[in-house]
A and B are shown apart, each in its own frame.
Chain A
C-alpha cells in the first residue's frame, strides 16, 4: 500500500472535522486513522487533540501509537501537533499528575493561574522568535486551560500571553506543534498549514 500523504491521528475525543476541512480547502486529502502502521508510514502526520491529557495518552498507548509518534519525532519526520497534541509532547501535565507524556520536550504543562479567564477561549497574538521559519506573527485561535511553559534547545518558539507568557508554538524543520488551532485561525492559520505542508 502506498503511504498516505497526510494521516490524521484519531485520538478519540478529538473533533477531526475542522482539521480535515482545513486541509481540504488547501486541496490536500487528509485521512483519519488509528492504525499504528499507517501512522508510521505516512509522509506527514497530524496529531490533533481535544479533551484531556490523561485520556489522550491512554488512547495513544492502547493503540500502540506512543512509540510510533516518539520514533517519528526522534527521526525528524514530518508531523504537526495541535492544541493538546502539543501538550502531550511534554513529560507531564498538571492536568493528569502521574501520567507520562511522550517526553519529546522536557518542559512541564501547567494550568493558567486561577485569577485568569480559564479556559483561554479566543484570539490571541502570536509572536515568533526571529529564527522562526514556518510560524509568522498574527492572531490565532486558542481554546486551552493548560500551557507549555518552556522550550528545549533545538526548537524555535513562538509565544503568546494570557496573564502569563506561554508557548504558542514550537518548530524544528518539518516538525511543528501549535497550542492554538491553525485550522480555526482564518486566512493566517490556513497559510501556516500551507507552509508546514509545503516544507515537508
Chain B
C-alpha cells in the first residue's frame, strides 16, 4: 500500500526561496539547497520547487537552482513555474527534475499536457490547478493567482487527467499562505473525480491539517510556510499522521 506523502514546497525567485500570502507579498525564506537538504534529512517524501520569478532575468537562475538541488537530493523533485513547451520541460528534466508541473500555459493550450505525456511519460506530468471558491464551486485561477477565469476547477482537473496528467497539484488560492487549513471540500471534490494522485496544497498550519487533508482524499500533502517558519517539522507532521493510523514512510 502506498504511503501518504509529505511534500515541502519551495517557491523560488532569482535563486532564493520566497513565500507570500495568497501568492502576494513575497519575502525571503532562505537558500533552496540548504532547505532542500534539511527537509530530506527530516523525512520529506518529495520536494516541489515552483519558480515564481517575474522576469526572464530572474528565471535564468532557475536551472542553476535545479542542478544544485539535484546534486544533493535523493528523493523525487517536481519543478514548475513558467513551463510553456516541451523544450522548457526537457530543460528542467535535464537539469534534474523528475516531474514537471504545468499551469497557465496548459490552461490556455491544453494539448501541452498531451505533448508532455507522450514525450516524457504520464508519470512525469503534473497539472497544477489553482482554485478559488465562488458560490459553492471552484474556479480556475491562472498567472500565479492573479487572473481569475470562469472555468470549473474540478472539471479542469478531470480534463487534465484525460489528456495525460499523472498527478494533480491542487492549490486553494483562498487558503495559500494563510495557515487556516486546507480547503477540504475542494480536496474531496477533486480526489473523488480523478483517478490519478491528488496533492493537496494551500493553508496548512499543523499536522492535524495534513491529517484532515489525507482523510478528505489527498494522496499527498504539500506545505511551505509551516516548515519554513519552523511551526512544525516534517518529522512532527509525519508522526501525527502515523499516530492516526495513516501509513507514512518512516
Residues on A facing B (Cβ under 8 Å): 13, 15, 17-18, 21-22, 24-25, 50-52, 114, 117-125, 139, 141-145, 161-162, 181, 183-187, 189-190
Contact = CB atoms under 8 A, between A and B. Distances in A.
Given A25-B74, A139-B249, A184-B76, A122 B3 contact: yes
Contacts of A117: 2, 195-197, 219
Nearest to A15: B93
A161 B2 CA distance: 8
A18 B196 contact: no
Contacts of A18: 70, 77, 96, 98
Interface in B204-250: 219-220, 249-250
B51 to A, nearest CB: 17
A50 B74 contact: no
A46 to B, nearest CB: 16
A21 B93 CA distance: 13
A161 B1 contact: yes
Given A15-B98, A17-B93, A51-B120, A121 B74 contact: no
Nearest to B98: A18
Interface string B71-83: 1111111000000
Interface of B is mostly: loop
Interface residues of B, number: 36
B5 A21 contact: no
Interface of B: 1-5, 40, 45, 70-77, 93-98, 119-124, 166-167, 195-197, 219-220, 249-250
A52 B4 CA distance: 26
Nearest to B77: A18
A122 B219 contact: yes
A106 B124 CA distance: 28
A124 B124 CA distance: 18
Nearest to A22: B74
Nearest to A52: B121
23 contacts: A13-B121, A15-B94, A15-B97, A17-B96, A18-B96, A18-B98, A21-B96, A24-B71, A25-B72, A50-B121, A50-B123, A114-B195, A120-B2, A121-B167, A121-B197, A124-B1, A125-B1, A142-B2, A161-B1, A184-B75, A185-B75, A186-B75, A189-B74
Nearest to A144: B123
Contacts of B96: 17-18, 21
Contact of A122 (B2, B93, B119): B2
B122 A17 contact: no
Given A25-B72, A121-B2, 6 more contacts: A15-B120, A21-B70, A21-B71, A121-B197, A122-B197, A139-B250
A6 B250 CA distance: 31
A125 B97 CA distance: 24
Contacts of A189: 74
Contacts of B166: 119, 121, 143
Contact of B74 (A124, A139, A143, A184): A184
A117 B124 CA distance: 15
A20 to B, nearest CB: 9
A50 B120 CA distance: 7
A21 B219 CA distance: 27
A193 B135 CA distance: 53
